[in-house]
Amino acid sequence: MLTERHLQIFIALAEEQHFGDAARVVGITQPPLSQGLRRLEALVGAKLFERGSGGVELTPAGTALLPFARRALTSIEELHQAAVARDPEGPEIRLGLTPEVPVSAGAAVAAACSAALPGSRVTVVTAPTSSLVSQVSSGRLTLAVVLHPTVLDGLEAGPVQLLPTWALVPAGLASDPVAELKSLRGLPVAVRSRAEAPAARDLFLDTLAMHRPDGGTVVVTDERAGLAMAAAGQAIVMTADSSLAAPGVDRHLLAGDPLPTRLRLVWSQDRTPFPVDVVARLTEALVTP
């Protein structure tokens, strides 16, 4: 039987074109995602994706079926929303957070949602900026905190908030607690895939090249992987999360803050017209310790 999860897997894979990223969007690991795809292809009687070393692409059959899958999932979500609207426990606020949002900031925004919208129930998902924008546009998320700049596809957006960035480096690489970016030499900077937030990644890399023309970059799946490489003496991590730490890794505030983490709230004004004061409270939560 075709299920909502089958539709979620299909659409996430079509949007992310990568099993690992799609699994994170759906909130499962890769093995059950692959199993779900195989069941879906068996149910529809057609191969939906061509698999390659770098990811997946829709087959002609997959391209033809994708609009129907989107409409079906939207109908299911509208059914859920109608049920929630009658739920005495209150409406559900589905909040998306890009992985670059510090843990404390994400928790503060979730708490601010509950305080600003009394009676609501808050659920939180983490996904790359490009995926979050798509999910807010389709109504799968109520709002999200994403990296700036990014293509908003007609969404509303709050003011850009700049969070200070630290460099996490192997112990002994630099001596001063505040370090010049250009002085952190000899190791690549760990970065996430460009596909996760193309415009924001380009700005980051351009600024990095301006201040540190040598050293290069290395792509990592997340900050945990970057931190592990720093602990192994193989990379430098830029982060806005003051809680990210590991033995053998030193933290240095970057002089002049050349690489702040730029974040903003996005939402669909048509689906959820947030009042100005609510946007202000949620935005303030991003930068309030």
Tell whether 31 and 75 lie within a shared domain: yes
Whether residues 235 and 282 fall in one domain:
no
Is residue 155 located within the same domain as residue 269?
Answer: yes
Overall pTM > 0.75: no
Strands 49-51 and 56-58: antiparallel
* Residue at which a domain ends, from 57, 84, 111: 84
Same domain, 201 and 217: yes
Q: Sign (positive/negative) of CA torsion 51, 56, 59, 62?
A: positive
pLDDT, one tens digit per residue, over 207-254 is 999 988 888 999 998 889 999 999 999 999 999 999 999 999 999 998
Give the CATH number for residue 246. Answer: 3.40.190.10
| Residue 108 shares a structural domain with residue 147 | yes
Does residue 142 share a domain with residue 266?
Answer: yes
Residues 204 and 220 in one domain: yes
pLDDT tens digits, 61-111: 999 999 998 888 888 777 656 654 555 455 789 999 999 999 999 999 999
Residue 18 near residue 51 (C-beta atoms within 8 A)? no
Q: How far apart are CA 129 and CA 16, in angstroms?
A: 11
- DSSP H helices, the chain, are 4-16, 19-26, 30-44, 60-85, 103-116, 129-138, 198-211, 223-231, 276-287
Domain that includes residue 154, residue range: 88-161+262-287
